[in-house]
Amino acid sequence: MRNPSEKKSILDFFSFLGLSLYEATHLKGNRHVSLMVLMRQILFTGYEALPLISFIALGIGGLVILQGYSLLSTFGQGNLVHMILVTVVINEMSSLITALVVVARSGTAISTELGNMVVHREIDLLRSFGLSPISYLVVSRIYGVMAAMLILTAYFNIVAVLGGWMFSQLFSNIEFRAFMNGFLLELKLSSIIVNLVKPLVFGLIIALVSSYEGMSVRQSSTEVPQRTIRAVVNSIVLIIFSDLVITWLTWVLAFR
C-alpha cells in the first residue's frame, strides 16, 4: 500500500527502468519470469494483430507506389519507384506504423491490465508470495512485445512490398520478378539492420512505458484510463524521438 501523498517523479521512472532492465538481463535462475505470460503476450501483440497489420501494410505499400509513381513519372523517373518503397516503407514507415498499432492495441492493454491488477490488489498478492511483480509481469511483457514487434515489422515489410507490386499493376504491367529485382537492388544492408534495431527499441519503449504507467496506479479505478492515456502519449513521444535518434545515427555512421 503506497502513501497517497507520495508523488511520482521522473526518478521513479528511471528507477523502474533500471530495475526492469536489470531483471530482464539476469534471467538465469530467475523462476519469477513466466513463460506463460511471455507466450500470451506474443500471441496477443503479434498473432492477433496480423489482420490489422496486413490491411495497413497493403494499403501503405499501394499508396506509396501510387503517389511515388505519379510524382516520379512527371520527371520521367518512374523506374525509381522501388527506391521510394525502400526509403519510405522499409526504412521508416514499417517499424513506425507497426509501433503505433502495437501502442494502440497492446500498450493500452498492458497499462489497463496492470492498473486493474493494482486496484484489485493482485500485485500485492504476488508480493505476498515473495514474487517480484517486475520479473513476473514486466520482464515477460518486455520480451513478448519486443519479439512481437520484430515479427510484425518483418511481416509488414513483406505485405507492403507485395501491396506495392499489386498496385503497380494498375499503371504498368511490371512482372513480379522484375519488380522484386528492382526492389532488392535498392535494399541495402543498412536498411536490414535498421529494420532489426528499430522494432526492438520501439518494443522495449512500449512495454516499459505501458507497464510503468499501469503499475503507477495507486488505489482508484478512475486512475486507470488516465494512466493508459499517459502510456499512449509518452510511448508515441519516445518512439518518435528514438526513431529520430536511430535515423540520425544511421546517417552519421554513413550506412546509407
Partner 1 sequence: MKIIFDRVCSSGGLQDLSLELPVERVCVINDSTELQGKRILNTIIGLDEIISGSLTIDGIPWLEFISHQPMPRVFGYVFDEAVMLSNLSLRENLLLPYRMLNDDKADDNFETEVQDWMRQFGLSLDLASRPNVIRPPELKLLGFIRPLLFSPRLLLIDNPYYLLNEPQRCTVLEVLNRLKSSLPLLILSSDSDFNRGFAAQIIKI
Phi-psi domain of 96 (left: phi exceeds 0; alpha: psi -120 through 50; beta: other): alpha
From the CB of 180, what's the least distance to partner 1, in Å?
A: 43
- Show the DSSP H helices in 120-188 as ranges: 122-128, 133, 140-168, 176-186
Q: Which is nearer to partner 1, 28 or 177 (CB)?
A: 28
Q: Which is nearer to partner 1, 8 or 120 (CB)?
A: 120
Q: Which is nearer to partner 1, 128 or 173 (CB)?
A: 128
Instruction: Compute the distance between CA of residue 141 and CA of residue 18 in angstroms, rounded to an integer.
Output: 16
Q: How far apart are the first and last CA of the chain?
A: 52
Q: Which is nearer to partner 1, 3 or 74 (CB)?
A: 3
Cβ atoms of 210 and 107 closer than 8 Å: yes
From the CB of 23, what's the least distance to partner 1, in Å?
A: 15
From the CB of 10, what's the least distance to partner 1, in Å?
A: 19
From the CB of 203, what's the least distance to partner 1, in Å?
A: 21
Instruction: Compute the distance between CA of residue 16 and CA of residue 208 in angstroms, rounded to an integer.
Output: 8
From the CB of 116, what's the least distance to partner 1, in Å?
A: 8
From the CB of 247, what's the least distance to partner 1, in Å?
A: 38
Positions in the binding site for partner 1 (CB under 8 A): 1-3, 6, 31-32, 34, 40, 113, 117, 120-122, 124-131
Q: Which is nearer to partner 1, 40 or 230 (CB)?
A: 40
Instruction: Compute the distance between CA of residue 25 and CA of residue 135 in angstroms, rounded to an integer.
Output: 11
Which of 153, 164, 200, 202 lies closest to 50 in space, CA to CA? Answer: 153
Cα 14 from chain centroid (whole Å): 20
Q: Which is nearer to partner 1, 87 or 116 (CB)?
A: 116
C-alpha cell at 233: 502519449
What type of residue sits at position 116?
Answer: N
